[in-house]
Structure formats: C-alpha cells, structure tokens
Structure 1
Amino acid sequence: MSIKAPLLLMLASALSACQQVEQIRPVTASIGEGWQLVWQDEFNGSQIDSQKWSHEVNCHGGGNDEKQCYTARAKNSFVEQGLLHLVAHKEQYTGPKFNRDDVNSDAERALTQTQSFTSARLRSKGLGDWQYGRFEIRAKLPAGQGAWSAIWMLPTDWEYGRWASSGEIDIMEAVNLKVPTDDKTAPTGTLESRVHGTLHYGGPAPNNVYSGTAYTFAADQNPADMFHVYALEWQQDEMRWYVDDIHFATFKSEQWYSVSEQADGTLLKNSGFAPFNKRFHMLLNFAIGGNWPANVNEKGVDESGFSKQMLVDYVRVFECSVNPETGKGCATYQDSAKQIIPKRL
C-alpha cells in the first residue's frame, strides 16, 4: 500500500511536533510540594554555558582504570537542538594525566597519558554548588558493553578529607545497557536495563564503604532507547531516589557516617550528619570501561559501534521552600521505595 506525498508530509510534521512536545516538561518539581526552582540548564542555546559548567580535562581513568581521555573539544561535548551531547569516540589520544586544579606541582601538571577513547565530563563546581534540594535530570543513556554513564555529585570543599571521607552522591549510574544482563532474578536473554543510585562514605580509601540499589526498567522502557527523568531528593537526614517520579529507594542518615584521617594517621569519626551536610556540585559524564563495567555482564569493553553518546535534555535544581536550611518538609513518599541497608557500619 502506497502513501501519497501530502500525507507523508503531514505525518512527518505531526511526528516532529510530537517529538518536540515529548522533550518539553513544565519547569516545576514533579512530586512533593514546596519545591522552588533555583538553578537550571535547559540546553537551549548554541553552546555549553560556561557560567554553569566547566570541562574536566584529564586522561587518568577516573581512578577506576577507565579507558577514556576527557577533553573540552567540541567533538566530545556540544549543545544542539535543545540537548547536551556527551560523545565518546574510539581514538588514540594523549592528554594531561590530571586536571590542572587537582595537582600541586609543575611536574604533575606536565604528566601525560594515552588512552584509546575520548569523551567528556562536565561539572558545575564553583558555578552550581548546593547543600540539600531536589536534583532532576532528564537523559537518554548510551548502550553497549563498557559504556558507563553517570549523573552524580562530589563535595566542593572536601572539608572531611579525601575520598570518601567527604562523601559522594550518585544520582544515576548505568553500565552495559542492552547487553545480556547478569541479574540472576531476570529471565535468560533479558537485556541490561538497570540504573543505580548509590552513596559513598565512611573513611578515606581503602576505609570507604558504599550503599545503594538498582531500579530495573521494563523491557520496552530501556534507558538507552528513550529519555527518562532521574532525580534525587537530599535533606539533612535522608536521601531519596526517583525514576520518572517513582520513588524507588531511601537511605537514612543514621546509616551513613564519615571518618577523617588526622595528621598523625589516626582516624576520627565526624559528628552530626557528616559527610552529607556540606555543599556538593554536579557532574555529568560518559566513561568507557573501568573496574565496574569491565567486570560484569559480558566483561571487558566492546569497541564496536562508536561513536556513542549520552544525551541530556535538562538539569533542574529545586530548593525546599518549607525549610531550606535542612531541606525537610517537601518530600513525597511512596510505598514502593526500598529502604537501603548498609553493607557494613
């Protein structure tokens, strides 16, 4: 059966309109009451906004044996048609081993390293730093063995000491999407569709610990095939994770802790709600390989199918107007949420 040209044009126009509408959501918090928008990037311009993001430039592999160099080149990150594109290419590249602001000497600044992929990692450090709030990001994630996409937060001031004494907040991480899953509860042949919410805390490595859980999408909702909204609500005594407004995990402050290393090498436990009572900034990145993705699912890195990209539609940050000092009073709880139990205390 053939379709006449005018009808084809009408269908194309309708599809385009639907796609445009599908990408636009109201600038309001999706759940809870009292959330007030305080920071956002809708990526509607022609370039990455340097008043909101800076690039990390390094080849050291993220401390996880990742296989990419992060660059500030336009081929690895750009804004187009209302989306932020973080693009990984398979290419030999030599660059600085460390970020310039992470080193203390000229000798360290002169070090270089070569990797077999390039990609991008953006951060809001010094441009967007927050203590408590709701963080909402709409994104479409890359697929393939070794693909590791992340939306996360690090301490801006590291007041409790080096990682992970000062904490790390992972809003969303996904590895090896659309590869046969190693989830033992899934039917044979199921493709990987999990995203993970995690906190890292405790003492300085190797005395660090982490706690988290996964959210599993239905087969027809794979996060590598379509956009989804990933959110974290952070208040003084609790963290809550959401996917498409589904509250899937909660972690309470009595289960996290922080231990700082003293000058004499001894460890001292910090009081209060440490380490998640200081300001953090956001990071968006697309890594290749590393200790986690390379050791699960089909293992290693599948080097076919590049270039690959992570797409971000928007980043929105909300403050709880009920009590900005603690972030408490704006949450909406759902019975479906899992209470995260620490691996150890």
Structure 2
Amino acid sequence: MTTEPIFDTAHLAHVELFTDKPQESLDFFVDLLGLTESGREGDSVYLRAWDDYEFHTLKLTASNTTGVGHIGYRATSEAALHRRVAAIEALGAGIGWTEGDLGHGPAYRFRDPDDHVFEIYFQTRKYVAPPEERPALKNQAQRYHGRGAAVRRIDHLNLLANDVAAIKAFLPQALGSRVTEQIVLDSGELAGCWFTVNNKTYDIAYTRDFTGSRGRFHHLTYAVDQREHILEAADLFLENGVFIETGPHKHAVQQTFFLYVYEPAGNRVEIANAGARLILDPDWQTVTWTETERKKGQAWGLKTIESFHTHGTPVVPLRHG
C-alpha cells in the first residue's frame, strides 16, 4: 500500500531551550555562536541566526532546569495547519491552542510519545532588519556580521526517547515526516531515527535514551556554509574555554561535518555544514544502519565517544542493568 506524501509542514521553525545559567548561556549564543537578539518577553530571550527569515529560531528561557521547552514547526498554510491539528487530535496527542508568543501567531501544542512538547503554527512574525542590521543584498534576511562562529541558520535538533519505534510511528502521522535513515540494533531495537518534512535530509532526529528517562534533549544544530568555518569555530571555542565534546569530523549517518560543544548550562550544541546532502527522491527508501556498522565509528573512523550516548539535558543518573 502506497501512502500519498503529506506536505502540510514546511520546516523546523524554532526550539525553546531551558537554562539555569541565563546570562552565561546568552553570552555564549550571542558572542560565540553568533546569534542576534531580536526580542525579550518574560524570562525568555529570542535569538536568530543571520539568514533565518523568522523573528527567532531559538527561545532561550531562564529556568531552574535545562533541556528543551518546546519545538516549533511552521505549517505550509492555514488549511494545512488545521489538517495537521485534526491528525494530531486523532492520535490523542493534543494539548490545545495557544495565542502564540513574541515570534508567531496562534499555535497548536501537542506531545510526542516521549512527552516532548511541540507546537505547529502558520501565522509568523517575519524578521525585519533594523537599520544597523540591514544586509547589502536584499535577498538576505540580515547582514553578515562575522561575530563568533557566525552561524547562518537553524538546521536540526536531536531528542532522546525511551522508545524510538513509537516516535517513528508517530511523527509521519502527526507532521507528515519521512524517515530518511535509521539505526537498528542486533536485538531488533530501533536505536535512532532521522526525519524530514521537506527535502533536507533531516530536521529532527531521535536516539535512544539509555537512562530510561523521558522528554530529554540531546542537541540543537546551527549551520554554516563551509567545513572551514567549523574548523575556525573549534579554534574560537578552544580560546574561550568552551568544552568541545567531539569533532570536528564527519558523520557516517547523514554525512554531516560536525562539531559538538556544551553551552554553559550543559545543553549540547552542534555546528554543521549547510551544504550537506538534500533528498530530492520522492520515494526515498529509508537507509538502515546495523549495530556492527555503527560500531565502526564515524565516516573517517573516529569512534563515537561514550558521552554522546549518555549525556542529555536535564542531566539524570545513568540507569544500569
């Protein structure tokens, strides 16, 4: 049986991160990662990369914890939004409507099977650059300022899940996502799954949470244009005392050139190359990686370090046995 593709969801729009070190985290995202502050409301600061078209792609919220607050997707139209809401409600995953916030209009919130909170909306606040941020090229959202790593746009995020198979069944029905790649262990357990709603190779990934917890965050990724920019970012982080967890190197899964660091509150952040692969094939067949293949390490042989499997936010004790 062939299922007609669903194109109701346009793209990953923004991520809310919690930080228990709000000023230190803000300094990292602005001065080192290179985001620009576009507004403040309550305990949250709204941030954007220089070629993001929306008002914000990161909502940084002061909290007594860390991890992800919610994940936002934008629908392709008002009608598409309501089709997705009906599908989500049929799945029994709905939370309900909100009025939106500083960056967008009414949004429908829901939970994935692992209790991560999502929202989907259409009405958005498109960024209008103030005079000091106006670009030289009119087809660019904001001027290229070259601050810090000067990331270009939001790319994807990775969430941890207790049951990745449940997520694989849920997201295609809720958002119309396609599964591009996956990891299947020798036991038959699904250990990782990569999803896209458009022609990017992925906008969200889920990997197994070895602690047995629910609702935790693995990493958020911003893109730069070239691998060389990632090497420069590594030097920048080194000089500023930022913890580099792994990389620069190249993933085997999805082939992304990567660098992973921890921002001051402990949330993992990745810088990746924006020129990565696209999937234009409308009937792409999911690529499956075996446990043996993954034990070989990354594309050029770098072994995946233990913390990549165990560290998530909020931090919880690793479950044994």
So what's the TM-score if we normalise by structure 1?
Answer: 0.29
Q: Which is higher, the Rg of structure 1 or of structure 2?
A: 1
**Which structure exhibits the higher relative contact order, with contacts defined as CA atoms closer than 8 Å and separated by 6 or more residues?**
1
So what's the TM-score if we normalise by structure 2?
Answer: 0.30
